[in-house]
């Protein structure tokens, strides 16, 4: 029986399809430039919407060459929980509340303080 062992392919390791006759989707190469002159080239699909800005590998914001600068967002800044808390109480009041709560927690645990 050992002379009639089955031979096959590993599952998932290789594809039975070939690349012959496959055309890639049409693409366009877009250039962005940072304020210090660094060029960034990005490839998009031809029907993709091109963003006005792109973040380069160095972390700098690059603007689309021959594009317009996006308008600044003049919306209100996001209020944090701390901002909302300070609208209702002063920092002195918050210090008193904190001390009171810490005393209650320590007494519940049996700590002496």
Neighbours of 110 (CB within 10 A): 6
Q: pLDDT digit of tens for each residue in the chain (113 aa)?
A: 556 666 666 666 677 777 888 888 899 999 999 999 999 999 999 999 999 999 999 999 999 998 777 777 778 888 999 999 999 999 999 999 999 999 999 999 987 65
Domain 27-64 belongs to what topology?
Rubrerythrin, domain 2 (2.20.28)
CA-CA-CA-CA torsion sign (22, 26, 32, 38): positive
**pTM of the predicted model as reported, rounded to 2 decimal places:** 0.47
**Can you spell out the DSSP letters for 18-60?**
--TTPPPPPEEEEEEE-TT--EEEEEEETTSPPPSEEE-TTS-
- Domain residue extents for the chain: 27-64, 78-112
Dihedral, CA atoms, 63, 64, 68, 73, nearest 10 degrees?
Answer: -50
Give the model's pLDDT for residue 113. Answer: 53
* DSSP three-state, residue 61: strand
User: Are the C-beta atoms of residues 36 and 56 closer than 8 Å to each other?
Assistant: no
């Amino acid at each position: 029986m050992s002379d009639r062992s089955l031979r096959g392919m590993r599952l998932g390791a290789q594809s039975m399809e070939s690349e012959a006759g496959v055309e890639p989707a049409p693409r366009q190469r877009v250039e962005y430039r940072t304020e210090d002159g660094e060029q960034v080239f990005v490839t998009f699909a031809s029907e993709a919407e091109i963003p006005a800005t792109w973040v380069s590998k160095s972390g700098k914001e690059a603007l689309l060459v021959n594009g317009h600068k996006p308008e600044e967002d003049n919306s209100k800044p996001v209020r944090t929980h701390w901002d909302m808390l300070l609208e209702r109480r002063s920092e002195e009041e918050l210090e008193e509340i904190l001390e009171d709560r810490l005393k209650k927690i320590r007494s519940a645990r049996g700590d002496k303080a």
